[in-house]
Amino acid sequence: MLYNNKNIVLHELIGLDVEVKRSSDSEQQGIKGKVVDETKNTLLVDTGKGIKRVVKKISVFKFRQGKKSFIVDGEEINFRAFERIEKALKFYRRRPI
């Protein structure tokens, strides 16, 4: 599946590399790893030293797929994975290509 800056908010995040670029929780800022699971409000990230739970709504993420990377505000993905296509369309329409 090819991700781009516009459609990243609609697609599956599990399996992507992620870095927490900003967070209002200083302990979550800078967490890097692979997304292993997702709930409505959090991403579970395997850091190699354990699984960390990162709150979506208060964070800005940098997702990577291969050599491409995408910055996503946590509010844009603060939905259950199966609800994302329907509910994230408003963010999808606003995002640049």
The residues facing 72 across adjacent strands are 61
2 assigned to some structural domain:
no
16 assigned to some structural domain:
yes
pTM given for the model: 0.91
Q: Which range of residues forms the domain containing residue 70?
A: 7-94
Structurally, the chain folds into a number of domains equal to: 1
Average pLDDT, the chain: 93
Looking up residue 83, the CATH number of its domain turns out to be 2.30.30.210
More confident residue, 45 or 92: 45
21 assigned to some structural domain:
yes
Q: Say whether pLDDT at 90 is over 90.
A: no
32 assigned to some structural domain:
yes
46 assigned to some structural domain:
yes
Other C-beta atoms lying within 10 Å of the C-beta of residue 54: 23
**Mean pLDDT throughout 47-74?**
96
pLDDT at 14: 95
> What is the spatial order of strands in the sheet that 17-23 belongs to?
51-55, 42-46, 32-38, 17-23, 59-65, 68-73
Other C-beta atoms lying within 10 Å of the C-beta of residue 25: 11
67 assigned to some structural domain:
yes
83 assigned to some structural domain:
yes
40 assigned to some structural domain:
yes
